Amino acid sequence: MRICIIIFCTLVFLNNAQFVETFRYYDGNKLTVNFENINPGDYYKNQTSPIYPNFTVEVIEDGKNQLTLRILNPLDTFEIPHEFPFPYTKSDSAHGEYDYSVNEDGTFFSVSRYDGSPVFTITNATVLSLLYSELHTELLSEDIFGFGERRLNSFRIPKGEFSIWNHDFWEFDTQVGFSLYGTHPVVLQRYNQQYHIVLLRSSRPMTMERTDDELIYRITGGQLEFKIFIGKKNPKELIKQYHQYLNGWELHPFWSSGWHQSRWGYQNTSVIQDVIQNYKESNIPLEVIWTDLDYMQDRKDFTLNEEAYPREDIWNITDRTQPDGVHWVPIVDPGIAVDSDCGRDLVESGAYIKSNRQSQTPYLGMVWPGDVYFTDFNHPNAYELWYKCHKDWFTNYQIAPSGIWIDMNELANFRDGEKIKGPKLNDDIFELKDLPWDAMGTMTLEGHTIAIDALHEGQGVYFNVSSKYIPELDLHNFNGFLEQIEQRKLLQEIQNKTLIFQLSRSSIFGSGRFSAIWFGDNASTWAWLRSSIYQMFNFNLFGIPFVGDDICGFNQDTTPQLCARWIQLGAFYPFARDHNALGSKDQEPYLYEITKISAQNSIQLRYEFLKYYYYLFISQRDSTLQAGSGTIVDPLWFKYQSDPQTFNIETQFQIGNIIVNPVVDEQTDSSLDYTELQFYVPLSANWVSLENGQRIPNGWNTINRTFTDNAFLALEAGSVIQHSNATGVMRLREMSSDIDLIVVLNEFGQASGSYMSIRDYDNEETILQRCWNDQYTCIREISVKTYKDSLLFTNTKAKNDNSEEINIKNIIIYRNQQILRVEINVSSFTQSWQINL
Ligand SMILES: *[C@@H]1O[C@H](CO)[C@@H](O)[C@H](O)[C@H]1NC(C)=O
Ligand SMILES: *[C@@H]1O[C@H](CO)[C@@H](O)[C@H](O)[C@H]1NC(C)=O
Ligand SMILES: *[C@@H]1O[C@H](CO)[C@@H](O)[C@H](O)[C@H]1NC(C)=O
Ligand SMILES: *[C@@H]1O[C@H](CO)[C@@H](O)[C@H](O)[C@H]1NC(C)=O
Ligand SMILES: *[C@@H]1O[C@H](CO)[C@@H](O)[C@H](O)[C@H]1NC(C)=O
Ligand SMILES: *[C@@H]1O[C@H](CO)[C@@H](O)[C@H](O)[C@H]1NC(C)=O
Ligand SMILES: *[C@@H]1O[C@H](CO)[C@@H](O)[C@H](O)[C@H]1NC(C)=O
Ligand SMILES: *[C@@H]1O[C@H](CO)[C@@H](O)[C@H](O)[C@H]1NC(C)=O
Ligand SMILES: *[C@@H]1O[C@H](CO)[C@@H](O)[C@H](O)[C@H]1NC(C)=O
Ligand SMILES: *[C@@H]1O[C@H](CO)[C@@H](O)[C@H](O)[C@H]1NC(C)=O
Ligand SMILES: CC(=O)N[C@H]1CO[C@H](CO)[C@@H](O)[C@@H]1O
């Protein structure tokens, strides 16, 4: 910090309140300012939402380019802890290199760069009360991104008001902008060619309104804390810092990056066996089969309807020692049937969410099996209970799923709010009618979910406060997160391994460390197909890069054309799953000619680059976190922002040195079997077509893509990309350990890149020890130069190299508008070699 403007007797006006500065103290990296309300006793709208009698502003200089702003009031006792597994600052104890002030004259708080350029300014805190606060902040530019999870029709945040409250509410979500399943109140903003990130670190329901010149936060009370990161010109570097604050993201096992097939409505195992057989006969790779509620007895968790799903069939389907064996991921919902073994264990354990109407009564919800209780994952007995329910399930039926799909964990509930009528048990816990506003607008916070006054354990494992209970109002948005943590731990314990796979619908800031997520129940429409790309960008910003959408669409009937285009796009999602709703028309890719050919080609293409995709995750290992950080799927402008055109491109995306250009529009002229694709390649690099090696003219291009063409891939000149021969590969375990290197020479005849020198990507212990490790790396760097008529390769071993020897089988050279394939079969341990052209 350079200057701290100190104005004594600051007056800030809020409603009828009159705040007077009473105390200011700066201790070297923290400024504390107290304000007292000299007209106390006033309320915001409702008699339950008193204006703060006083409050404290803390500005903590967390590091050179980051800071925390806290507005703390004496009325709230709940705070999100500042330690793992919650996001916290890994302090570099440096002083802040920015200016800030907490002052009057309309500016409540501001932080700016040393050159005076503004970063974050609260221009007016118009209300600061127990259950409603409203903060007006300055909008610096239209280049503003993030804030979710919500439905998107662009990556850039448009004008409008957007809400956050974890919700399973697709009927409601026909209006762009209202909340979906996750809580990520973070915005990335670009101003004067520099970037900054602001997270509102709150779990309370809220909205953010973007007007012409303001971002207005409306929050259902609670302690207010902003974490601000002040970046420079590189958004990827800045986002990486944000991910470090979030504790990073966890690596997924390689098999989970294969192709997944799922649907609600696979009534029995013979249907699934047919699906697997049809995939095989159609030569379409398949790695994982998913089962929705259909496998359960009466839709109850931890059961197996053995009439429809005989265990022998499951053993058969998942027998991966056989050529056809696949991985299997079943669904588990957090609502436990009252009438079930796990339900009875839950009651006995006491680890349930409680009703605020009758002492110690489990909160009664209604989900798929009918009446359910919900596990309170903050309760000290919850882990043991949840572990036992899974362990018994696996043991009783002798099943061993490869991963678990945790759905409905917002918590979704088919009964809006509290079932038990009558007065509240704990008067100090707010109920819906106490709130002076509802962040969901005309709908309610309790729609499709449980009451905001449901009770969680106060002295719990993750949140340990002085009060006996913590209300759902505070923990609601953490339900999915706490489940993710416990579920991950028990899978690690039961599977006896570190790398596990789970997929969650709900998420919050920090979830990437524990779970993959998908974008929830979408619809089979072109708008949803496009929005999945913006969602990928958002979730990369949110620190959850292993994500994807329901390929071909979930609700409603898909069409062959939509499904084909979605397969072509989805083949480049980090997580690729075809998933369908009960009652919707079948959409397995082999069903229509164009989806079949698309799946054959696109999934093969995915598999050719799958090790490269995995390498991109591995290369983001962050040893201070012992996890990954940074984005994997980027909009073009993350890297090529010197080219202003890239800022408006939101349906193309970049994975490493590859730009993926999918068709995202419907062909409405039924006489045509192609769609015109317009795509842009940035000016500041050169690009070649993967398909024919031709140089792609910089700027806008137009090509025709038939319904069976892959997404068009552009390769960046100057790069070396790891590639695999995936011809005929139906299961990932069939992939050879040999790799190819694609060498895309630039205008100087040079190229460089990295690859993983590892034999068996399915051997998770090897991956962990050799690649995902603080001391060692399995990544090799390679550079290529042209000298006269030869290519000279330099293959560099890092000091801490711990790789395995593999064969580099072919070098595929992109040079002079041509593709040249040279078989070399050189060991990855060879330091240099030469190819004569
Ligand atoms: C702030 O208000 C609370 C509640 O009225 C009171 O207990 C506390 O002493 C006040 N703090 C200061 C610093 O005035
Ligand atoms: C701040 O908001 C209050 C309440 O809406 C309003 O009366 C006041 O004029 C605003 N102050 C400024 C500086 O905009
Ligand atoms: C499995 O379900 C399908 C589709 O509902 C049905 O046609 C078939 O008879 C069932 N097979 C068995 C063995 O139950
Ligand atoms: C699995 O079932 C299929 C089809 O019913 C059968 O052909 C195959 O032999 C079975 N495999 C094993 C390993 O039991
Ligand atoms: C305020 O709260 C009271 C009692 O909690 C409730 O009856 C009333 O409807 C609320 N009023 C508004 C405007 O929300
Ligand atoms: C909560 O904190 C109290 C007081 O520090 C401690 O005694 C208790 O063990 C904690 N509970 C849990 C579950 O960690
Ligand atoms: C768990 O895995 C480790 C290392 O892979 C192995 O040594 C150990 O025996 C396994 N434990 C059990 C209970 O299988
Ligand atoms: C697409 O195909 C149509 C019909 O063959 C042709 O007229 C048009 O020029 C093609 N467009 C491109 C960009 O090749
Ligand atoms: C790829 O693998 C297939 C099957 O093993 C083989 O037939 C083919 O020749 C390989 N292609 C190349 C270019 O090495
Ligand atoms: C490639 O090299 C490996 C190891 O040196 C050897 O086993 C293999 O036979 C070679 N393959 C060809 C096609 O030369
Ligand atoms: C946002 C959106 O398109 N939601 C749709 C999801 O699917 C349901 C059922 O098909 C539609 O009613 C929603 O409009």
Strand, coil or helix: 414: coil
CA atoms of 575 and 563, how far apart (whole Å):
17
At how many degrees (to 10) do helices 341-349 and 382-397 cross? 160
For the Cβ of 15 lying below 6 angstroms from any atom of ligand 11, the answer is: no
pLDDT tens digits for range 309-359: 999 999 999 999 999 999 999 999 999 999 999 999 999 999 999 999 988
From 430-444, 450-464, 487-501, 609-623, the region with the lowest mean pLDDT: 430-444
Q: Which of 669, 676, 691 to mutate to test the pocket of ligand 8 (most atoms within 8 A of CB)?
A: 676
Tell me, yes or no, whether 246 lies in a domain: no
Rounded to an integer, what distance in angstroms lies between the CA atom of residue 287 and that of residue 311? 20
> What pLDDT is attached to residue 14?
61
Q: How far is the CA of 74 from the centre of ligand 1 (A)?
A: 6
**For 208-216, what is the mean pLDDT?**
96
Residue 720 identity: V
Residue 2, pLDDT > 50, answer: no
Which domain does 126 fall in, by range? 4-233
Please tell me the residue having the least CA distance from ligand 7 atom 1: 496
pLDDT, tens only, 247-290: 999 999 999 999 999 999 999 999 999 999 999 999 999 999 99
Q: What is the pLDDT of residue 705?
A: 98
Which helix (H) or strand (E) segment is 486 a member of? Answer: helix 479-495
- Strand locations in 192-244 (E): 194-200, 206-210, 214-219, 224-230
User: Is residue 122 included in any domain, yes or no?
Assistant: yes
Asked if 354 and 363 touch (Cβ cutoff 8 Å), the reply is yes
Residue 18 has pLDDT above 90, yes or no: no
pLDDT of amino acid 40: 86
Among residues 647, 822, 832, 676, which one has the least CA distance to residue 193?
Answer: 647
Is the pLDDT at 15 greater than 90? The verdict is no
Which amino acid, residue 462?
A: Y
What is the chain's mean pLDDT, rounded? 95
Last residue of a domain, one of 215, 233, 251: 233
On the question of pLDDT at 166 being above 70, the answer is yes
**Residue 7: is its pLDDT beyond 50?**
no
Q: Which ligand is nearest to the CA of 528?
A: 11
pLDDT in tens, 347-377: 999 999 999 998 889 999 999 999 999 999 9
Q: Which residue has the tokens 């109140």?
A: 185
Residue 586 near ligand 3, beta carbon < 6 Å: no
Question: What is the percentage of the chain residues whose pLDDT exceeds 70?
Answer: 97
The ligand minimizing its distance to the Cα of 316 is: 4
Whether 703 lines ligand 8, by a CB cut-off of 6 Å, is yes
Its pTM stands at 0.96
Please check whether residue 322 lies inside any domain of the structure: no
Mutate to test the pocket of ligand 9, among 283, 608, 727, 729 (most ligand atoms within 8 A of CB): 727
**Hey, which residues does 785 pair with through a beta bridge?**
792
Atom of ligand 7 nearest to the CA of 496: 1
Q: How far is the CA of 523 from the centre of ligand 3 (A)?
A: 27
For range 493-503, the mean pLDDT: 97
The residue whose CA has the least distance to atom 3 of ligand 9 is 727
Give the residue-averaged pLDDT of 479-491: 98
Q: Is 807 helix (H, G, I), strand (E, B) or coil?
A: strand
Decide: 335 in ligand 6 pocket, CB within 6 A.
no
Annotated catalytic residues are 407, 410, 521
* Cα–Cα distance for residue pair 28/185, rounded to 1 Å: 29
Q: Which residues contact 383 (CB under 8 A, 6 or more apart)?
A: 461, 486, 489, 490
Tokens of 51: 């204006």
**Domain C-terminal end among 233, 249, 265:** 233
Q: Which residue has the tokens 């012409």?
A: 212
* The predicted structure's pLDDT at residue 711: 98
Provide the strand spans (E) within 139-205: 144-150, 160-164, 179-191, 194-200
3-state secondary structure of 388: helix
- Mean of the pLDDT values across residues 735-751? 98
Note whether residue 324 is domain-resident.
no
Contact 296, 304 (CB under 8 A): yes
Residue keyed to tokens 């040999």:
738
What CATH number is given to the structural domain containing 681? 2.60.40.1180
Joined together, the tokens standing for residue 418 give 């509290």
Q: Number of folded domains in the chain?
A: 2
Mean local confidence (pLDDT), 566-592? 97
DSSP state of 768: I
Q: Taken in order 342, 343, 344, 348, is the CA torsion positive or negative?
A: positive
Work out the pLDDT band at 92, boundaries 50, 70, 90.
confident
Is the distance from the beta carbon of residue 36 to the nearest atom of ligand 1 less than 6 Å?
A: yes
Cα–Cα nearest to 598, from 545, 554, 551: 551
Radius of gyration of the chain (CA): 27
Distance, in Å, from the CA atom of 206 to the CA atom of 438, rounded to the nearest integer, reads 9
Helix (H, G, I), strand (E, B) or coil at 1: coil
Q: Count CB atoms within 10 A of the CB of residue 332.
A: 23
User: What is the rounded CA–CA span in Å between residue 201 and residue 778?
Assistant: 37
227 lies in some domain:
yes
Residue 175 pLDDT: 55
Averaged pLDDT, 607-632: 97
Per-residue confidence (pLDDT) for residue 172, from 0 to 100: 47
- pLDDT tens string 26-51: 998 999 999 999 988 899 987 889 99
DSSP secondary structure string for all residues of 269-305: HHHHHHHHHHHHHTT----EEEE-GGGSSTT-TT---
In a domain, 94, yes or no: yes
Our answer on whether the CB atom of 380 is closer than 6 Å to any ligand 6 atom is yes
* Alpha carbon of 654 to ligand 9 centroid (Å): 28
pLDDT of amino acid 527: 92
Residue 97 DSSP label? S
Q: What is the structure's pLDDT at 4?
A: 44
In 395-500 the beta strands, taken as DSSP E runs, fall at 403-406, 455-459, 464-471
Q: Is residue 282 part of a domain?
A: no
Q: What is the pLDDT of residue 106?
A: 61
Ramachandran assignment for 350, one of left (phi > 0), alpha (psi -120 to 50 degrees), beta (any other): left
> Which atom of ligand 1 is the closest one to the Cα of 54?
1
3-class SS of residue 317: helix
- What CATH number did the domain enclosing 223 receive? 2.60.40.1760
Whether the Cβ atoms of residue 88 and residue 171 lie closer than 8 Å to each other? no
- Ligand closest to the CA atom of residue 382: 6
Domain end point (choices 213, 233, 253): 233
pLDDT tens-digit readout, 637-674? 999 999 999 999 999 999 999 999 999 999 999 999 99
The band of 59, judged by pLDDT with boundaries at 50, 70 and 90, is: very high
* 825 has a pLDDT exceeding 90: yes
How far is residue 781's CA from residue 790's CA, in Å, rounded to a whole number? 20
The pLDDT value recorded for residue 3 is: 40
Model pLDDT for residues 762-801, shown as the tens digit of each residue = 999 999 999 999 899 999 999 999 999 999 999 999 999 9
Ligand nearest to the CA of 532: 11
In the chain, what is the straight-line distance between the N-terminal and C-terminal CA atoms, in Å? 58
Residues 6+ away with beta carbon under 8 Å from 101:
3, 4, 5, 107, 109, 110
Hey, how many other C-beta atoms are within 10 angstroms of the C-beta on 769? 14
In a domain, residue 542? The reply is no
Q: What is the dihedral of CA 91, 96, 98, 103, to 10 degrees?
A: 100
What sign has the CA pseudo-torsion 437, 438, 441, 443? negative
pLDDT at 5 over 70: no
d(CA 770, CA 8): 59
Looking at the chain, how many residues does it have? 837
pLDDT of residue 94: 78
Tokens of 458: 């106060």
CA-wise closest residue to 57 among 18, 28, 100, 96: 100
Using a 10 angstrom Cβ sphere, with 0-12 exposed, 13-18 middle and 19 or more buried, the burial of residue 133 is buried
- In this structure, what DSSP letter does residue 374 have? E
Nearest protein CA to atom 11 of ligand 3, as residue: 270
With contact defined as beta carbons under 8 Å apart, do 602 and 567 qualify?
yes
Give residues with Cβ within 8 angstroms of 27, minimum separation 6. none
Least confident span in 43-52, 471-480, 755-764:
43-52
Tell me, in angstroms, the distance from the centre of ligand 8 to residue 750's CA. Answer: 34
Cβ of 159: how many Cβ atoms within 10 Å? 11
